[in-house]
Homo-oligomer: A and B are copies of this chain.
Amino acid sequence: MCEANAYLLGDRGETLIMESVDEVSPEGDGLKLVNIFGEQKFIRAVIHSLSLVDHKVFLKELDRRP
């Protein structure tokens, strides 16, 4: 299986937000993450970068200010 772990990049480094992620797709003003177990998570972020051989997906939170 070639799933990855999703990390949120922030001021305080990387925060693991979901393991074993399969699908990441835009939804509304953010992203929907679905893992290989079918669990879903929504996060107000964009996909920043990928390191697939390391099984890492980096997301960047959108600015909360209007």
Residues of A within 8 A of B (CB): 1-4, 21-26, 36, 46-53, 55, 57
Q: Which residues of B contact A4 (CB under 8 A)?
A: 2, 52
Task: Jot down 30 A-B pairs with beta carbons below 8 A, ordered by A.
Answer: A1-B53, A2-B4, A2-B52, A2-B53, A2-B55, A3-B52, A3-B53, A4-B52, A21-B50, A21-B52, A22-B53, A23-B50, A23-B52, A23-B53, A24-B49, A24-B50, A25-B49, A25-B50, A26-B48, A26-B49, A36-B53, A46-B46, A46-B47, A47-B47, A47-B48, A47-B50, A50-B50, A50-B57, A52-B52, A52-B57
Q: In the complex, how many angstroms separate the beta carbon of A31 from the nearest chain B beta carbon?
A: 8
